[in-house]
Amino acid sequence: MSKIRVLVTDDSAFMRKVITDILSTDSEIEVIERAKNGLECIEKCKQLTPDVLTLDIEMPIMNGLDALEKLMNEYPIPVVMLSSLTREGAEATIQALELGAFDFVTKPSGPISLDIHKVGDRLIERVKAAASARGRIRRTDGKASKPTTISPVAAQPVVRPVVTSTPPILTRLPNTTKARLVVLGTSTGGPKALQTVLTQLPAKFPAPIAIVQHMPAGFTKSLAQRLDSLCQIKVTEVTDGEILQPATAYIAPGGYHFEVHSVNGRLQAHLHQQEPRGGHRPSVDVLFESVSRLTNVDKWAIIMTGMGNDGTKGLKLMKEIGPVASIIEDESSCIVYGMPRAAIQAGLADHIAPLDKIPEVLCKLLH
């Protein structure tokens, strides 16, 4: 089997050397070249056609964001960003994911991290995952996109909805006394997927949306703020004890599990730091399991792009305890077809839809 060919880009010679040494400890990875700024990175990408690129954000001549945007427009390649834990670093990382970066790894102690080895295993894991997703990385102008359809699962004919440039409109709501709740889980590729889905929802969306996006502490607030600036609905990082309101998306803060409880007939957020589940905190399973215990609530569950199988156990429990309609992202649009595949293989999908059709399916189900 051929090795994963990696180009390492960082303005620090020390960081280039250490990142190369870390990646070279894995027999499946080969660092083929190094670049010291964004411009040199682009030139070497075109010359060497690496499988994966690691990219620093803060660099002279051309920074990582400018290089990433140019690459995604002209030469899409799986990119793993190296970011800092500062507020500015978090904002830049969210922008990088929006531009098409596959994922990111945080430097433990700033631009030049002498302790970068602490995240060595994660860096290797991210590079391998990025390599496996190479065929799914698309140009940001959309030219590599494939035509897609919505597939309701239960032996129904494929639906080909009319695609419009405006969000679906909910003009009348059903006469119901039940609370309503949408829960959503996603991981790698999730920030960009969330933008696609949430920006298409109407301002008067009739239910709160509880979201778990796998992301470390310090980044989910920037993600929520960025999405809030783009969406008609409100998007916020959820706080403990907050009452969930319709037309609002609540994102679990990194490092905390997010549960939804019923308190005096109202849906309330409960955050805690119990042990990670399957290596994740927040965990989709923890969210879904808490929602499975809610009574007198209409529920819809969505699972989108991500590694692993987080969400499958929780969705199974939701379906065992009470009615819930599920929407699973179709393989055709997933950056990583792990979490959706696990849910589909477990027989838990009521509707399978490509990313850009999920808002339409959801609005029709709620209407």
Cα 247 to chain center, whole Å?
Answer: 20
d(CA 353, CA 329): 5
- Active-site residue 310, yes or no? yes
Contact partners, residue 166, CB within 8 Å, separation at least 6? none
Annotated catalytic residue: which of 11, 214, 222, 326?
214
Which of the 8 DSSP states describes residue 254?
A: T
Annotated catalytic residue: which of 103, 285, 298, 310?
310
The CA-based angle 98-102-105, given to 5 degrees, is 100
Buried b (16+ CB within 10 A) or exposed e, 131-167: bbbeebbbebeeeeeeebebbbeeeeeeeeeeeeeeb
- Active-site residue 12, yes or no? no
Residue 160 has φ and ψ, to the nearest 5°, of -115, 90
- Active-site residue 187, yes or no? yes
Task: Report helix, strand or coil for 9.
Answer: strand
Task: Report helix, strand or coil for 250.
Answer: strand
Annotated catalytic residue: which of 83, 113, 187, 333?
187
Name the nearest CA neighbour of 187 among 220, 159, 160: 220
Active-site positions read: 187, 214, 310
